[in-house]
Structure 1
Amino acid sequence: MDAINSFLLSIDSYLGSADYFPLLLLGTGIIFTLYLGFPQIRYFAHATRILRGKYSKDDAPGDTSHFQALTTALSGTVGTGNIGGVALAIYLGGPAAIFWMWATAFFGMTTKFVEVTLSHKYREKTADGTMAGGPMYYMEKKLNMKWLAVIVATATVVSSIGSGNMPQINNIAVGLNESFGFEKWIVGAVLSVMLALVIIGGIKRIAHVAEKIVPTMALIYFVGALAVILYNIENIVPSFISIFSDLFSGSAAVGGFLGASFAYALDRGVNRGLFSNEAGQGSAPIAHASARGREPASEGMVSLLEPFIDTIVICTLTGLVILSSGVWTKKHENTFDRADMEYVIGEYKDSNKDDVERLFTYLDKKSDATGGVEHYSGTIEIVNGIADYSDITLINARSIAEDVKYTINDEPYTGTIAINDGKIVDAEGDAKVVVSGKSLIHSVRLTTEAFRHGFFGEYGEYVVTIGLLLFAFTTAIAWSYYGDRAMTYLFGPKAVLPYRIVYVAAFFVASFTDATVIWNLAYVTVALMTIPNLIGILLLHKDMKQTVAKYWEHFNKNQAD
């Protein structure tokens, strides 16, 4: 797993974590926002009227209503990014990462408007009578770039498994395991069967499920989040201040949190913002292509509501829960994932300012500096579960680990463990050793802990568990549709069944796979899909402007979509 994790991180350094990526993503949204005259503001009220069906015509071509298309797309975006992803952004970049999530969402509203409009405009009716659309269709039909369309369709298939599928079940399994003690593989097996039963029905069944579940799950999560925010109401103003205070200087060290640079906060905020609302990724256009309507821009306007609901509303709730509860700076008892662990030479304490500065430099992956911190290689002697470090420090989850214990089958371990370049060498015996102790936590664990610090007390974790189950499961359902539309484009309808088999199998396997590896795979696949899509819509900027102008011309004459 360590080797796979390192490989994924190396690829991600050229994609989603590269310096150009946030500039390309935010830049595309900014360019279209200015070019189209701030449509996310000007068309917001009009979009809500379209969503309510005020201008709809029953005889318009398509498979779903505007509301069903929106909830299907939202079911694909409102998932682990809203629960575990926000927590991961704060854990990595500090409170300032929330601001960059907001910025990504605001400009992403325009980006989503553009990509959905173009997808709806160049959609096609398939042999079975259903609609098919997405970036690959406008790239081939308008840009005459079949090669780029193939790249995007291939990336969509990979991304459907890497970001829409595997992180979802992984977080569900972790949540149900920690809340109810269910075995992860059993959770994966049961939900894999349920997933298969839903996706066999295609877009109409998926849309029907989504329009029922999405509003329900949003209400449950909203009530649970308010229970924490109101309980910690005195911390709300300081939480907002923390988001803006270190915006351009990076987040300062506090408690067990060792700090984050401006570049790291920007990178993680933009990356998590994209993973949350998927604006620019090219996924939602596939769902919206099924919507009934003759004017492509009308569906594009409906879609600009997605980043607002997904990120500016739901992700902000999660962020305020985590920040106001204060759990993000505290160390919690937990079992360490191998990918989060690294042994370094020297004894470091987070109460020592010089040690914190050195470790901050070392952990800032946006910098080549190491702060003089070096990985440890050698062996560690352990007696009755306690290690004799002798000038060694264990870093777990970007914090200095405390009260570390080593066990096998819940019994204290006695023996030696081999370490190479800071990582445990998974020899036959060492692989069985479980390492636990106190450290920072991240992803769904952090959000779950935050929800315990509210009016519901310990029962607050069940809000996260239920929300995660509903959010993540519907995301996996929606992404199966994105993948099968891409497979249809690449290989025809005959490829859909094999794809669905692989999709369900990957869903099951990810339920008991290392969470860090899953998230890093998601980073890579999201960027692989996003970059060519952004390039494509930028090339079609004139087409987009003409389409919007045509919509308003027809609307003013006919008052219909």
Structure 2
Amino acid sequence: MKLLMEIISKINGVLWGPVMLFFLLGTGVLFTVKLRFIQIRRFKDIWRETFGGIFNKKEKADENGISSFQALTTAIAAQVGTGNLAGVATAIAAGGPGAIFWMWLSGFLGMGTIFGEAVLSQLYTEKVDGELTGGPAYYIKNGLNSKFLAGFFAIAIVLALGFMGNMVQSNSISEAAYVAFNIPKLVTGGFVAALVGLIIIGGINRIASFTEKIVPFMAGLYIIGALTIVIMNYNQILPAFKMIFIGAFNPMAATGGIIGASIKEAFRYGVARGLFSNEAGMGSTPHAHAIAKVDHPAQQGLVAIMGIIIDTGIVCTLTALVILTTGSLSTGLNGSQLTQEAFIRGLGTHGATFVAICLFFFALSTIIGWYYFGESNIKYLFGKKGIGFYRVFVLSFIILGTAMKVEIVWELADTFNGLMVIPNLLALLGLVSLVVKSTNEYESKGEHSKI
């Protein structure tokens, strides 16, 4: 087992090394420039497209798709997860406060990437056994004309998110419940599996209905809790931002040498954790945006950008500010323990309970989102007939994840995450001109058509 861990770790060191980060960031730069900084130019439209029809109940989820807002909440359900709590803390502990600056930069550039993913997923949708579906596998197959890479992507994402990723999420829930409430881990696993089963058995209709209700609630709950702590420590807000900006270019000066980070480490951990959190370029969220009922693909591209604004711009930033304004960085803790300590300092003994509750909702929503992304690719590989078996495996892996140490599962999930990114990035780079063409059509002529 130890040898296997070493081998997988070395593979991940290559997969998620400087080359991968360069291509992910580089893709974001390319789309941002080609689209003439659409995340800035069209900010009003991003807001309007996202929230303008939020109370429009005409667009119900059915075999022809889901509402634009439901697509966004399904995407955010996957984006806003344990990474927003543990991932941000890891970035700060390893790279210093300056890592947050680089996380913001990766999020800003990722807006261009995720816009492209959403547009392409809209352009290349298909009806599979009477249901609309889409995602990278479809634009890789039909746009890049590579069935091999499409199949490779589909297998990798099912393994990375549907199976191993969800094991990690259920483990996080069970661990938090055990620490906060002393609930046996298998009991938590059975409860989570039953709850997930009740939701996913209703298909995309029930999944979309669930995410449009739970995502605003869980995001609002976390934002209120985090803001309460930040406001209580208002005199530390400016020093916290000073630490972030100074730390981006001189980590030792920002922390007085507490963590001993370098600029390279601040950049590396900030970019990596940012990309893992908002998932731009990873090929996951396009599955939700593909089936949104919109008049033009670019409209859903604008909505997709809002996902990163909420995930990285708001939730991740608030986690960082809670850690920095409470002075928790000096404790030497890391990951979820650092975040939990920050909330305990801010909210007293209720802080641990608050983090456990938020972690439950974050991880549960991620399981639902990742389940659906995997289901879309099961339909690509086997049609609807494979969904029943897939559901059984997912629920089994959720329970199994609570009963084991997940270090090797984390490593395997990272491996298949890396493998699924490669074909998606190749497709994005190969089809960038199509995204630009569709965007120019939307902006200049207002024609609402798909190819």
TM-score under structure 2 length normalisation: 0.93
From 91, 94, 97, the equivalent of 2:96 is 94
CA distance in 2, matches of 1:147, 1:282: 16
Relative to total residues, which structure has the larger helix share, 1 or 2?
2
Q: Would you say the 8 A contact 1:163–1:523 is kept in 2?
A: no
Do 1:162 and 1:525's aligned partners in 2 also have CA atoms closer than 8 Å? no
Structure 2: how far apart are the matches of 1:27 and 1:256?
31
Contact 1:44 1:305 in 2 (8 A): no
Which residue matches 1:46?
45
Paired residues of 1:163 and 1:525 also in contact (CA < 8 A): no
In structure 2, the residue matched to 1:78 is: 80
1:96/1:522 CA distance change after superposition, 3 Å: farther
The aligned counterpart of 2:400 is: 509
**Aligned CA distance change for structure 1 residues 551 and 44 (closer, same or farther; 3 Å):** same
SS at match of 2:307: helix
Q: Say which SS state the counterpart of residue 15 (structure 2) adopts.
A: coil
Provide, for residues 109-146 of structure 1, a one-character-per-residue CA deviation record: whole Å limited to 9, x for no partner.
1110001100111011121x221111111111122111
Structure 2 vs 1, CA of residues 45 and 62 (structure 1 numbering), >3 Å: closer, same or farther? farther
Cα 1:94–1:3 shift into 2, 3 Å: farther
How far has the Cα of 1:251 moved from its partner? 4.7
1:171 is displaced (CA, Å) by 1.7
CA distance in 1, matches of 2:330, 2:169: 25
Q: Name the amino acid aligned to 2:423.
A: P
Aligned partner (choices 119, 122, 126) of residue 121 of structure 2: 119
2:63 maps to 1:64: no
- State the distance in 2 between where 1:517 and 1:254 align: 33
> How many Å apart are 1:3 and its aligned residue?
4.1
Aligned residue type for 1:321: V
More strand by share: 1
Q: State the shift of 1:5 in Å.
A: 3.5
1:80–1:167 contact (8 Å) kept in structure 2: no
Per-residue displacement from partner, 1:462-491 (whole Å, max 9, x unpaired)? Answer: 221111111110110111111011111112
Superposed displacement of residue 312, structure 1? 0.9
Secondary structure (helix, strand or coil) at the match of 1:33 reads helix
Provide closer, same or farther for how the CA distance between residues 558 and 139 of structure 1 changes in structure 2, counting only shifts above 3 A: closer
| Greater relative CO (CA pairs within 8 A, separation 6+) | 2
5 Å matches for 1:211-290? 211-251=212-252, 258-290=259-291
Distance of 2:90 and 2:4 partners within structure 1 = 20
Deviations 1:22-50 (A, max 9, x none): 11111111111111100111122112222
Aligned equivalents of 1:33 and 1:185: distance in 2? 46
The aligned counterpart of 2:176 is: 175
Aligned position for 1:383: none
Q: Quick one: which of 344, 351, 361 aligns to 1:460?
A: 351
The CA RMSD over aligned residues, in Å, is 2.4
Query: What is the match of residue 425 of structure 2?
Result: 534
Q: Report the equivalent of 2:200.
A: 199
For residue 6 of structure 1, report the CA deviation from its aligned partner.
Answer: 2.5
Gap regions ≥5 residues in structure 1 = 331-439
Output the amino acid matched with 2:93. Answer: Y
Distance 1:275 1:449, change over 3 A: same
Query: Does residue 15 in structure 1 map to residue 46 in structure 2?
Result: no
CA distance in 2, matches of 1:558, 1:472: 37
Q: For residues 401-480 of structure 1, what are the structure 2 equivalents within 5 Å?
A: 440-454=332-346, 456-480=347-371
Shift of the 542–256 alpha-carbon distance from structure 1 to 2, 3 Å rule, reads closer
* SS, match of residue 159 in structure 1: helix
Runs of 4+, deviation exceeding 6 Å: none
Unaligned runs of 5+ in 2: none
Q: Residue 236 of structure 1: CA displacement?
A: 1.9
* 2:205 alignment partner AA: K
What's the offset of the Cα at 1:78?
0.7
Larger radius of gyration: 1
Counterpart-to-counterpart distance in 2, 1:82 and 1:50: 25
Alignment check: 8 A CA contact 1:162 1:521 kept: no
Q: Which amino acid counterpart does residue 507 of structure 1 have in structure 2? A: I
1:73-107 deviation per Cα after TM superposition (whole angstroms, max 9, x unaligned): 11111111111111122222221221121111111
Q: Which residue of 2 aligns with 1:355?
A: none
**Per the alignment, do residues 70 and 324 of structure 1 end up closer, same or farther by CA in structure 2, a change over 3 Å counting?**
same
- TM-score w.r.t. the length of structure 1 is 0.75
- Encode CA deviations 1:41-64: one digit per residue, 9 max, x unaligned: 112211222223459986999321
